[in-house]
Amino acid sequence: MNSSDEDKDKLLSKHLQHVFSDFEHDPPPGTGRPIWQAIPRRTAVYRWLAVGSMVLLLLVGAGLYVMSPERGAHGSEYGRLGTHRVDRHKHSAPYGLRKRGRTTEQNRVYSGQTYPDGNTPDRSRLAGQPAVQPIGERVKFAQGKTVRPGRERSQPARAVIGWLAQKVSKRTTRHSMNKPTASATGPIAAAAESVAGEYRNVQPVAPISYATLRERSIQSKRSVYWPLTLAASATVDRKSLSVRPRVFFGVTPVSSYQRMTIVNTPETYVQHVAAPSAFAASTWGYQVSGGIEWKQTTIQLSAGTIRRWAYYGVADGRFSVTPAETNQYEIRRLDQPVAESESLRLLSAGMNQQIRVGRAHSPYFTRLGGSASYVPATGQSLAWVTASAGLTLPVANTYQLQVGPTLEYGLSRLWSNERQLIIYPYLVGVTLSLHTQRP
Protein backbone atom coordinates (compact mmCIF):
# COMPACT_ATOMS: atom_id res chain seq x y z
CA MET A 1 0.00 0.00 0.00
CA ASN A 2 1.55 3.22 -1.10
CA SER A 3 1.19 6.62 0.52
CA SER A 4 -1.53 7.65 -1.93
CA ASP A 5 -3.65 4.69 -0.88
CA GLU A 6 -3.03 5.48 2.76
CA ASP A 7 -4.18 9.04 2.23
CA LYS A 8 -7.29 7.85 0.46
CA ASP A 9 -7.97 5.40 3.28
CA LYS A 10 -7.60 8.17 5.81
CA LEU A 11 -9.94 10.39 3.84
CA LEU A 12 -12.43 7.58 3.46
CA SER A 13 -12.16 6.66 7.12
CA LYS A 14 -12.54 10.26 8.23
CA HIS A 15 -15.55 10.73 6.01
CA LEU A 16 -17.25 7.54 7.13
CA GLN A 17 -16.59 8.26 10.80
CA HIS A 18 -18.09 11.70 10.32
CA VAL A 19 -21.12 10.34 8.49
CA PHE A 20 -21.80 7.63 11.04
CA SER A 21 -20.89 9.62 14.15
CA ASP A 22 -24.51 10.45 14.87
CA PHE A 23 -26.19 7.91 12.65
CA GLU A 24 -29.27 6.43 14.27
CA HIS A 25 -32.00 4.16 13.09
CA ASP A 26 -35.29 3.22 14.69
CA PRO A 27 -35.58 -0.47 15.46
CA PRO A 28 -38.79 -2.07 14.21
CA PRO A 29 -41.68 -2.13 16.66
CA GLY A 30 -41.58 -5.11 18.99
CA THR A 31 -37.82 -5.40 18.96
CA GLY A 32 -37.63 -5.04 22.71
CA ARG A 33 -40.17 -7.73 23.52
CA PRO A 34 -37.83 -10.74 23.23
CA ILE A 35 -35.28 -8.85 25.28
CA TRP A 36 -37.64 -8.38 28.23
CA GLN A 37 -38.56 -12.02 28.09
CA ALA A 38 -34.95 -13.15 28.09
CA ILE A 39 -33.23 -10.91 30.59
CA PRO A 40 -33.31 -11.31 34.36
CA ARG A 41 -35.69 -8.79 35.88
CA ARG A 42 -36.47 -8.30 39.49
CA THR A 43 -40.14 -8.38 40.29
CA ALA A 44 -41.25 -4.97 41.34
CA VAL A 45 -41.19 -4.60 45.08
CA TYR A 46 -44.31 -2.51 45.15
CA ARG A 47 -46.37 -5.38 43.84
CA TRP A 48 -45.31 -7.53 46.74
CA LEU A 49 -45.93 -4.60 49.04
CA ALA A 50 -49.44 -4.26 47.70
CA VAL A 51 -50.13 -7.96 48.05
CA GLY A 52 -48.59 -8.01 51.50
CA SER A 53 -50.64 -5.04 52.58
CA MET A 54 -53.80 -6.69 51.39
CA VAL A 55 -53.00 -9.91 53.22
CA LEU A 56 -52.11 -7.97 56.35
CA LEU A 57 -55.32 -6.05 56.09
CA LEU A 58 -57.27 -9.25 55.75
CA LEU A 59 -55.57 -10.79 58.77
CA VAL A 60 -56.14 -7.70 60.87
CA GLY A 61 -59.74 -7.54 59.78
CA ALA A 62 -60.34 -11.19 60.50
CA GLY A 63 -58.59 -10.84 63.85
CA LEU A 64 -60.70 -7.87 64.84
CA TYR A 65 -63.80 -9.68 63.72
CA VAL A 66 -63.03 -12.77 65.76
CA MET A 67 -61.74 -10.94 68.82
CA SER A 68 -64.44 -8.29 68.88
CA PRO A 69 -65.28 -7.58 72.58
CA GLU A 70 -68.98 -7.44 71.88
CA ARG A 71 -68.93 -10.77 70.19
CA GLY A 72 -67.00 -12.38 73.01
CA ALA A 73 -69.22 -10.88 75.69
CA HIS A 74 -72.37 -12.14 74.08
CA GLY A 75 -70.88 -15.49 73.53
CA SER A 76 -70.12 -15.88 77.20
CA GLU A 77 -73.47 -14.43 78.14
CA TYR A 78 -75.28 -16.93 76.05
CA GLY A 79 -73.32 -19.64 77.69
CA ARG A 80 -74.70 -18.62 81.05
CA LEU A 81 -78.22 -17.80 80.02
CA GLY A 82 -81.10 -20.09 80.51
CA THR A 83 -84.38 -20.03 78.76
CA HIS A 84 -85.88 -17.32 80.88
CA ARG A 85 -82.99 -14.94 80.53
CA VAL A 86 -83.07 -15.26 76.84
CA ASP A 87 -86.76 -14.56 76.93
CA ARG A 88 -86.23 -11.46 78.97
CA HIS A 89 -83.38 -10.03 76.95
CA LYS A 90 -84.26 -11.09 73.49
CA HIS A 91 -85.84 -7.76 72.61
CA SER A 92 -82.76 -5.82 73.45
CA ALA A 93 -80.34 -8.27 71.97
CA PRO A 94 -78.71 -7.27 68.74
CA TYR A 95 -80.48 -8.55 65.74
CA GLY A 96 -77.68 -10.61 64.39
CA LEU A 97 -77.02 -12.35 67.65
CA ARG A 98 -80.56 -13.41 68.21
CA LYS A 99 -80.26 -16.44 66.04
CA ARG A 100 -77.26 -17.65 67.87
CA GLY A 101 -79.00 -17.11 71.19
CA ARG A 102 -81.95 -18.99 70.00
CA THR A 103 -79.94 -21.89 68.81
CA THR A 104 -78.05 -22.15 72.03
CA GLU A 105 -81.23 -21.95 73.95
CA GLN A 106 -82.85 -24.62 71.89
CA ASN A 107 -79.92 -26.86 72.29
CA ARG A 108 -80.11 -26.47 76.02
CA VAL A 109 -83.86 -26.88 76.29
CA TYR A 110 -84.66 -29.51 73.76
CA SER A 111 -81.57 -31.56 73.48
CA GLY A 112 -81.81 -35.09 74.64
CA GLN A 113 -85.59 -35.12 74.55
CA THR A 114 -87.60 -37.65 72.70
CA TYR A 115 -90.96 -37.65 71.13
CA PRO A 116 -93.74 -39.19 73.09
CA ASP A 117 -94.83 -41.20 70.11
CA GLY A 118 -91.31 -42.34 69.50
CA ASN A 119 -90.95 -40.58 66.18
CA THR A 120 -87.61 -39.29 65.21
CA PRO A 121 -87.26 -35.57 64.79
CA ASP A 122 -88.22 -34.39 61.34
CA ARG A 123 -86.78 -31.49 59.43
CA SER A 124 -89.05 -29.01 61.06
CA ARG A 125 -87.72 -29.91 64.45
CA LEU A 126 -84.20 -29.69 63.31
CA ALA A 127 -84.96 -26.26 62.02
CA GLY A 128 -85.80 -25.08 65.48
CA GLN A 129 -89.34 -26.18 65.97
CA PRO A 130 -90.15 -27.10 69.57
CA ALA A 131 -90.73 -30.77 69.63
CA VAL A 132 -91.91 -31.89 73.03
CA GLN A 133 -95.08 -30.75 74.65
CA PRO A 134 -97.22 -32.40 77.28
CA ILE A 135 -100.41 -33.68 75.77
CA GLY A 136 -103.50 -31.90 76.87
CA GLU A 137 -102.17 -28.35 77.11
CA ARG A 138 -103.92 -25.64 75.18
CA VAL A 139 -102.62 -24.90 71.80
CA LYS A 140 -102.62 -21.32 70.62
CA PHE A 141 -101.19 -19.63 67.64
CA ALA A 142 -100.03 -16.11 67.54
CA GLN A 143 -101.46 -14.30 64.58
CA GLY A 144 -99.62 -15.02 61.44
CA LYS A 145 -96.54 -16.45 63.12
CA THR A 146 -96.06 -19.55 61.12
CA VAL A 147 -92.75 -18.88 59.52
CA ARG A 148 -90.12 -21.12 60.91
CA PRO A 149 -87.25 -19.33 62.56
CA GLY A 150 -83.84 -19.67 61.14
CA ARG A 151 -85.07 -20.60 57.74
CA GLU A 152 -84.94 -18.24 54.81
CA ARG A 153 -87.66 -18.44 52.28
CA SER A 154 -88.50 -16.42 49.29
CA GLN A 155 -90.84 -13.52 49.77
CA PRO A 156 -93.79 -15.13 47.93
CA ALA A 157 -93.39 -18.31 49.92
CA ARG A 158 -93.37 -16.41 53.18
CA ALA A 159 -96.47 -14.50 52.18
CA VAL A 160 -98.34 -17.63 51.21
CA ILE A 161 -97.33 -19.46 54.35
CA GLY A 162 -98.25 -16.53 56.53
CA TRP A 163 -101.61 -16.05 54.93
CA LEU A 164 -102.47 -19.73 55.02
CA ALA A 165 -101.32 -20.23 58.58
CA GLN A 166 -103.26 -17.18 59.68
CA LYS A 167 -106.42 -18.52 58.19
CA VAL A 168 -105.91 -21.98 59.57
CA SER A 169 -104.87 -20.77 62.98
CA LYS A 170 -108.03 -18.70 63.35
CA ARG A 171 -110.11 -21.69 62.55
CA THR A 172 -108.04 -23.92 64.77
CA THR A 173 -108.22 -21.46 67.63
CA ARG A 174 -111.98 -21.33 67.39
CA HIS A 175 -112.11 -25.06 67.17
CA SER A 176 -109.72 -25.62 70.01
CA MET A 177 -111.58 -23.40 72.41
CA ASN A 178 -113.61 -26.35 73.41
CA LYS A 179 -111.32 -29.21 72.78
CA PRO A 180 -107.69 -28.60 72.27
CA THR A 181 -105.97 -31.43 70.54
CA ALA A 182 -102.38 -32.43 70.47
CA SER A 183 -102.34 -32.78 66.72
CA ALA A 184 -103.67 -29.33 65.99
CA THR A 185 -100.45 -28.12 64.48
CA GLY A 186 -100.02 -31.10 62.26
CA PRO A 187 -102.37 -30.15 59.50
CA ILE A 188 -101.40 -26.52 59.81
CA ALA A 189 -97.77 -27.14 59.34
CA ALA A 190 -98.38 -29.70 56.69
CA ALA A 191 -100.65 -27.38 54.75
CA ALA A 192 -98.32 -24.45 55.08
CA GLU A 193 -95.27 -26.39 54.09
CA SER A 194 -97.00 -28.04 51.23
CA VAL A 195 -97.93 -24.64 49.88
CA ALA A 196 -94.37 -23.54 50.13
CA GLY A 197 -93.38 -26.72 48.41
CA GLU A 198 -90.45 -27.27 50.65
CA TYR A 199 -91.40 -30.36 52.58
CA ARG A 200 -92.50 -33.45 50.82
CA ASN A 201 -92.96 -35.67 53.81
CA VAL A 202 -94.20 -33.53 56.62
CA GLN A 203 -95.04 -35.49 59.70
CA PRO A 204 -97.56 -34.21 62.22
CA VAL A 205 -95.60 -32.65 64.99
CA ALA A 206 -96.36 -32.39 68.65
CA PRO A 207 -98.41 -29.48 69.93
CA ILE A 208 -96.66 -26.31 70.86
CA SER A 209 -97.08 -24.47 74.12
CA TYR A 210 -98.43 -20.96 74.05
CA ALA A 211 -95.43 -19.41 75.73
CA THR A 212 -92.90 -21.14 73.56
CA LEU A 213 -94.84 -20.48 70.44
CA ARG A 214 -95.13 -16.80 71.16
CA GLU A 215 -91.46 -16.53 71.77
CA ARG A 216 -90.78 -18.46 68.64
CA SER A 217 -93.11 -16.33 66.67
CA ILE A 218 -91.42 -13.11 67.70
CA GLN A 219 -88.12 -14.48 66.70
CA SER A 220 -89.60 -15.66 63.51
CA LYS A 221 -90.72 -12.20 62.60
CA ARG A 222 -87.24 -10.89 62.97
CA SER A 223 -85.66 -13.70 61.14
CA VAL A 224 -87.65 -12.87 58.04
CA TYR A 225 -86.87 -9.15 58.13
CA TRP A 226 -90.27 -8.01 59.19
CA PRO A 227 -90.20 -4.27 58.62
CA LEU A 228 -91.77 -3.50 61.98
CA THR A 229 -89.13 -5.48 63.77
CA LEU A 230 -86.35 -3.84 61.84
CA ALA A 231 -87.60 -0.42 62.77
CA ALA A 232 -87.84 -1.39 66.41
CA SER A 233 -84.32 -2.70 66.51
CA ALA A 234 -82.83 0.10 64.46
CA THR A 235 -80.92 1.62 67.31
CA VAL A 236 -79.52 -1.66 68.45
CA ASP A 237 -78.63 -2.70 64.97
CA ARG A 238 -76.75 0.48 64.20
CA LYS A 239 -74.95 0.28 67.47
CA SER A 240 -73.87 -3.26 66.89
CA LEU A 241 -72.74 -2.53 63.35
CA SER A 242 -70.71 0.38 64.47
CA VAL A 243 -68.75 -1.69 66.94
CA ARG A 244 -67.70 -4.62 64.88
CA PRO A 245 -65.24 -4.00 62.05
CA ARG A 246 -66.34 -5.07 58.65
CA VAL A 247 -64.13 -6.06 55.78
CA PHE A 248 -64.73 -4.96 52.24
CA PHE A 249 -63.24 -5.30 48.79
CA GLY A 250 -64.00 -3.19 45.79
CA VAL A 251 -63.07 -2.34 42.27
CA THR A 252 -63.35 1.07 40.71
CA PRO A 253 -63.06 1.78 37.02
CA VAL A 254 -61.55 5.25 36.94
CA SER A 255 -60.74 7.94 34.50
CA SER A 256 -58.35 10.73 35.33
CA TYR A 257 -58.33 14.29 34.16
CA GLN A 258 -56.10 17.24 34.73
CA ARG A 259 -56.85 20.89 35.26
CA MET A 260 -53.94 23.15 34.54
CA THR A 261 -52.78 26.67 35.07
CA ILE A 262 -49.71 28.41 33.72
CA VAL A 263 -46.89 29.66 35.88
CA ASN A 264 -45.74 33.10 34.85
CA THR A 265 -41.98 33.11 35.01
CA PRO A 266 -39.45 35.09 33.02
CA GLU A 267 -38.68 31.93 31.10
CA THR A 268 -42.30 31.27 30.25
CA TYR A 269 -42.83 30.97 26.59
CA VAL A 270 -46.23 29.31 26.69
CA GLN A 271 -48.42 32.37 26.66
CA HIS A 272 -51.68 30.77 25.85
CA VAL A 273 -52.90 27.25 26.17
CA ALA A 274 -55.95 27.08 24.00
CA ALA A 275 -56.59 23.39 24.31
CA PRO A 276 -55.61 21.89 27.63
CA SER A 277 -56.89 18.57 26.43
CA ALA A 278 -53.92 18.44 24.14
CA PHE A 279 -51.72 18.34 27.22
CA ALA A 280 -53.99 16.24 29.38
CA ALA A 281 -55.45 13.42 27.43
CA SER A 282 -58.12 11.51 29.24
CA THR A 283 -57.04 8.27 30.80
CA TRP A 284 -58.73 5.07 31.76
CA GLY A 285 -57.88 2.53 34.36
CA TYR A 286 -58.98 0.76 37.47
CA GLN A 287 -58.38 0.62 41.18
CA VAL A 288 -58.71 -2.44 43.35
CA SER A 289 -59.26 -1.68 47.00
CA GLY A 290 -59.81 -3.43 50.27
CA GLY A 291 -60.12 -2.35 53.82
CA ILE A 292 -61.95 -2.23 57.09
CA GLU A 293 -65.09 -0.34 57.98
CA TRP A 294 -65.39 0.42 61.67
CA LYS A 295 -67.66 2.86 63.41
CA GLN A 296 -68.63 4.45 60.11
CA THR A 297 -64.96 4.99 59.37
CA THR A 298 -63.41 3.32 56.40
CA ILE A 299 -59.71 2.57 56.17
CA GLN A 300 -58.63 1.22 52.85
CA LEU A 301 -55.67 0.34 50.70
CA SER A 302 -55.89 0.38 46.96
CA ALA A 303 -53.75 -0.30 43.95
CA GLY A 304 -54.53 0.75 40.44
CA THR A 305 -53.31 1.39 36.96
CA ILE A 306 -54.21 4.28 34.74
CA ARG A 307 -53.33 4.23 31.09
CA ARG A 308 -53.20 7.12 28.70
CA TRP A 309 -53.47 6.92 24.98
CA ALA A 310 -52.67 10.15 23.25
CA TYR A 311 -52.20 11.08 19.66
CA TYR A 312 -50.96 14.52 18.85
CA GLY A 313 -48.62 16.42 16.61
CA VAL A 314 -45.22 17.76 17.56
CA ALA A 315 -44.04 20.69 15.54
CA ASP A 316 -40.59 20.37 14.03
CA GLY A 317 -38.39 22.64 11.97
CA ARG A 318 -40.18 22.14 8.69
CA PHE A 319 -42.46 24.70 7.14
CA SER A 320 -44.75 24.64 4.18
CA VAL A 321 -45.42 27.72 2.13
CA THR A 322 -48.66 27.83 0.21
CA PRO A 323 -50.24 30.70 -1.71
CA ALA A 324 -53.18 32.07 0.23
CA GLU A 325 -54.33 35.08 -1.70
CA THR A 326 -52.92 37.31 -4.33
CA ASN A 327 -49.33 38.18 -3.54
CA GLN A 328 -49.69 36.52 -0.15
CA TYR A 329 -48.39 33.28 1.16
CA GLU A 330 -49.29 31.20 4.12
CA ILE A 331 -46.43 29.73 6.05
CA ARG A 332 -47.45 26.75 8.09
CA ARG A 333 -45.24 24.86 10.47
CA LEU A 334 -45.38 21.13 9.93
CA ASP A 335 -45.57 18.58 12.67
CA GLN A 336 -45.03 14.93 13.17
CA PRO A 337 -47.72 12.67 14.56
CA VAL A 338 -46.78 11.17 17.90
CA ALA A 339 -48.59 8.34 19.62
CA GLU A 340 -48.28 7.86 23.34
CA SER A 341 -49.32 4.92 25.40
CA GLU A 342 -48.14 5.16 28.95
CA SER A 343 -49.39 3.63 32.11
CA LEU A 344 -49.25 4.93 35.64
CA ARG A 345 -49.48 2.76 38.70
CA LEU A 346 -50.81 4.14 41.94
CA LEU A 347 -50.69 2.68 45.43
CA SER A 348 -52.99 4.44 47.83
CA ALA A 349 -54.06 4.41 51.43
CA GLY A 350 -57.00 6.40 52.62
CA MET A 351 -59.53 7.03 55.31
CA ASN A 352 -63.16 8.01 54.85
CA GLN A 353 -66.03 8.85 57.10
CA GLN A 354 -69.36 7.44 56.09
CA ILE A 355 -72.52 9.47 56.51
CA ARG A 356 -75.89 7.90 55.97
CA VAL A 357 -78.31 9.88 53.92
CA GLY A 358 -81.88 9.97 55.16
CA ARG A 359 -83.31 7.76 57.85
CA ALA A 360 -81.53 5.24 60.00
CA HIS A 361 -81.74 2.37 57.57
CA SER A 362 -81.61 4.35 54.39
CA PRO A 363 -79.59 2.50 51.77
CA TYR A 364 -77.99 5.72 50.58
CA PHE A 365 -74.74 7.00 51.96
CA THR A 366 -71.94 9.44 51.32
CA ARG A 367 -68.29 9.21 52.22
CA LEU A 368 -65.80 11.99 52.68
CA GLY A 369 -62.15 11.58 53.38
CA GLY A 370 -58.64 11.72 52.11
CA SER A 371 -55.98 9.48 50.74
CA ALA A 372 -52.32 9.46 49.89
CA SER A 373 -50.94 7.83 46.78
CA TYR A 374 -47.50 6.71 45.80
CA VAL A 375 -46.42 6.48 42.19
CA PRO A 376 -43.70 3.81 42.04
CA ALA A 377 -42.55 4.78 38.57
CA THR A 378 -41.71 8.34 39.49
CA GLY A 379 -41.43 8.15 43.24
CA GLN A 380 -44.03 10.84 43.66
CA SER A 381 -46.44 11.09 46.54
CA LEU A 382 -49.83 12.60 45.97
CA ALA A 383 -52.55 13.66 48.38
CA TRP A 384 -56.20 13.47 47.45
CA VAL A 385 -59.51 14.58 48.82
CA THR A 386 -62.08 11.90 48.18
CA ALA A 387 -65.82 12.02 48.06
CA SER A 388 -68.19 9.29 47.14
CA ALA A 389 -71.86 8.48 47.31
CA GLY A 390 -73.66 5.27 46.82
CA LEU A 391 -76.38 2.79 47.40
CA THR A 392 -76.22 -0.24 49.67
CA LEU A 393 -77.82 -3.41 48.45
CA PRO A 394 -78.09 -6.50 50.66
CA VAL A 395 -76.57 -9.65 49.28
CA ALA A 396 -77.72 -12.73 51.17
CA ASN A 397 -77.40 -12.35 54.92
CA THR A 398 -73.74 -11.72 55.24
CA TYR A 399 -72.79 -9.29 52.51
CA GLN A 400 -73.66 -5.88 51.27
CA LEU A 401 -73.01 -4.54 47.82
CA GLN A 402 -72.25 -0.87 47.59
CA VAL A 403 -72.18 0.96 44.32
CA GLY A 404 -71.77 4.62 43.58
CA PRO A 405 -69.66 7.36 42.01
CA THR A 406 -66.31 8.41 43.42
CA LEU A 407 -64.37 11.60 42.95
CA GLU A 408 -60.77 12.17 44.02
CA TYR A 409 -59.26 15.61 43.69
CA GLY A 410 -55.52 15.94 43.84
CA LEU A 411 -54.13 18.32 46.41
CA SER A 412 -50.59 17.74 45.21
CA ARG A 413 -49.60 20.10 42.49
CA LEU A 414 -47.73 18.64 39.60
CA TRP A 415 -45.90 20.52 36.96
CA SER A 416 -44.50 19.94 33.55
CA ASN A 417 -40.84 19.41 32.93
CA GLU A 418 -40.45 23.07 32.11
CA ARG A 419 -42.36 23.98 35.28
CA GLN A 420 -44.68 26.22 33.41
CA LEU A 421 -47.87 24.26 33.77
CA ILE A 422 -49.32 23.47 37.16
CA ILE A 423 -51.47 20.39 37.00
CA TYR A 424 -54.33 19.56 39.33
CA PRO A 425 -55.20 15.93 38.75
CA TYR A 426 -58.50 14.39 39.64
CA LEU A 427 -60.01 10.98 39.28
CA VAL A 428 -63.59 10.06 38.55
CA GLY A 429 -64.88 6.54 38.88
CA VAL A 430 -67.66 4.22 39.87
CA THR A 431 -66.97 2.04 42.87
CA LEU A 432 -68.43 -1.41 43.25
CA SER A 433 -67.58 -2.97 46.59
CA LEU A 434 -68.64 -5.97 48.60
CA HIS A 435 -68.87 -5.53 52.37
CA THR A 436 -69.29 -8.15 54.99
CA GLN A 437 -71.99 -7.60 57.55
CA ARG A 438 -73.31 -9.35 60.57
CA PRO A 439 -75.02 -12.59 59.68
Partner 1 sequence: MALFGKHTYADLTQLVRACQAQRPKAQRLFYERYKRRMMGICIRYAHTEVEAQDILQEAFIKIFSHIHTLEKPDSADDWVKSIVVRTAINYYHQANRRQERFVAYDQLTDEPVSDDYEEWLTQHNAETWVLLLSQLPDAYRLVINLYLIEGYTHAEIARLLGVPEATARSQYSRGKQLLVNLLKKNGTERHELFG
Q: Do 256 and 427 meet the contact criterion of CB atoms below 8 Å apart? A: yes
User: Per CB under 8 A, does 175 bind partner 1?
Assistant: no
* Residue closer to partner 1 (CB basis): 290 or 425: 425
Among 2, 3, 23, 339, binds partner 1 (CB under 8 A): 23
Q: Please report how close the Cβ of residue 9 comes to partner 1 at its closest, in angstroms.
A: 7
User: Per CB under 8 A, does 118 bind partner 1?
Assistant: no
Q: Please report how close the Cβ of residue 40 comes to partner 1 at its closest, in angstroms.
A: 6
Report the site for partner 1 in 245-274 (rule: CB under 8 A): 258
Among 35, 66, 67, 228, binds partner 1 (CB under 8 A): 35
* Residue closer to partner 1 (CB basis): 20 or 269: 20
DSSP 278: G
Neighbours of 382 (CB within 10 A): 18
Q: Do 386 and 406 meet the contact criterion of CB atoms below 8 Å apart? A: yes
* Residue closer to partner 1 (CB basis): 182 or 347: 347
Among 12, 59, 270, 334, binds partner 1 (CB under 8 A): 12
Among 69, 156, 317, 379, binds partner 1 (CB under 8 A): 379
Cα 238 to the center of its chain, rounded Å: 19
Among 31, 120, 154, 178, binds partner 1 (CB under 8 A): 31
Q: Do 163 and 191 meet the contact criterion of CB atoms below 8 Å apart? A: no
Q: Please report how close the Cβ of residue 387 comes to partner 1 at its closest, in angstroms.
A: 21
Among 107, 282, 336, 380, binds partner 1 (CB under 8 A): 380
Q: Which stretch binds partner 1 (CB under 8 A): 25-33, 198-206, 219-227, 384-392?
A: 25-33
Q: Is the dihedral of CA 8, 14, 18, 24 positive or negative?
A: positive
* Residue closer to partner 1 (CB basis): 35 or 321: 35
b or e along 321-351 (b: 16 or more beta carbons within 10 Å of the residue's beta carbon)?
eeeeeeeeeeeeeeeeeeeeeeebbbbbbbe
* Residue closer to partner 1 (CB basis): 189 or 421: 421
* Residue closer to partner 1 (CB basis): 119 or 416: 416
User: Per CB under 8 A, does 231 bind partner 1?
Assistant: no
Give me the long-range contacts of 168-172 (CB less than 8 A, separation at least 24): 168/192, 169/141, 169/143, 169/144, 172/139, 172/141
Any idea how long the chain is? 439
Burial label for 106, CB within 10 Å (0-12, 13-18, 19+), is buried
Residues with Cβ within 8 Å of 176's Cβ and at least 6 positions away in sequence, in order, are 138, 139, 140, 184
Report the site for partner 1 in 36-65 (rule: CB under 8 A): 36, 38-42, 44
Cα 325 to the center of its chain, rounded Å: 64
User: Per CB under 8 A, does 314 bind partner 1?
Assistant: no
Q: Do 107 and 121 meet the contact criterion of CB atoms below 8 Å apart? A: no
* Residue closer to partner 1 (CB basis): 9 or 330: 9
Beta strands in 396-420 (DSSP E): 399-410, 414-415
* Residue closer to partner 1 (CB basis): 35 or 228: 35
Among 19, 67, 331, 339, binds partner 1 (CB under 8 A): 19
Q: Is the dihedral of CA 290, 294, 296, 297 positive or negative?
A: negative
Count of residues near partner 1 by CB under 8 A? 46
* Residue closer to partner 1 (CB basis): 94 or 429: 429
Among 377, 383, 395, 403, binds partner 1 (CB under 8 A): 377
Cα(19)–Cα(258) distance, integer angstroms: 44
End-to-end Cα, the chain, rounded Å: 97
Give me the residues that bind partner 1 (CB under 8 A), please: 1, 8-9, 11-13, 15-17, 19-20, 23-28, 31-32, 34-36, 38-42, 44, 258, 279-280, 308, 342, 344, 375, 377-380, 414-417, 421, 423, 425
